[in-house]
Amino acid sequence: MERTLAIIKPDAVERGFTGKIFDRIEGNGLKIIALKMIHLTKKEAEGFYKVHAQRPFFPGLTTYMSSETVVIAVLEGKDAIKKWRDLMGATNPKDAAAGTIRKDFAVDIEKNSVHGSDSPESASYEISYFFSSIEIFSHKRTKT
Ligand code: CMP
């Protein structure tokens, strides 16, 4: 079992695609094991995307990601990282395959509707950026 972080970005939340995206997640063998809606500050968006800090698109990306509400989830399943990236499609919706979320819903490379971790290391960083262990419900917890 593997875990990955999913973000439904402002463009998709605003246009009412959250339910449709959840449908694709749950319909393809991935389990939502943690969930929250949040309006990121600019600083929080910068911290989340710090690996891109030197990229020219960083200021625009972090302004966009802190412009409106996002939905954040932890997904669990076999090969969850690759499975979620396959469901999302290519970063630029122009290059995304038919039937992927970005092909069907994204506006452009910045407003590309969804985010997913790209490796086990980034999944670990990204999940712990937003969720503490008591907010993640992988297994039934027994009260002691
Ligand atoms: P995401 O999967 O969230 O990871 C980094 C984000 O940067 C990416 O999706 C895009 O939304 C955004 N971005 C904006 N411009 C570019 C670009 N030229 N190349 C790659 N990513 C970009």
* Ligand 1 pocket: which of 62, 108, 110 to mutate (most atoms within 8 A of CB): 110
Which percentage of the chain shows pLDDT scores above 70?
A: 96
Is 109 near ligand 1, meaning CB less than 6 Å away?
yes
- The answer to whether residue 142 scores a pLDDT higher than 60 is no
Could you say which of 39, 52, 115, 139 is catalytic? Answer: 115
Our answer to whether residue 52 is catalytic in this structure is no
Q: Give the global pTM.
A: 0.95
C-alpha dihedral (111, 69, 21, 96), degrees to nearest 10: 10
- How many CA atoms within 13 Å lie on the side-chain side of 68? 12
pLDDT band at 143 (very low <50, low <70, confident <90, very high): low
Contacts of 53 (CB under 8 A, 6+ apart): 46
Kindly report, residue by residue over 19-53, the tens digit of the pLDDT.
Answer: 999 999 999 999 999 999 999 999 999 999 999 99
- Strand residues in 17-142 grouped as ranges (E): 31-38, 70-77, 114-116
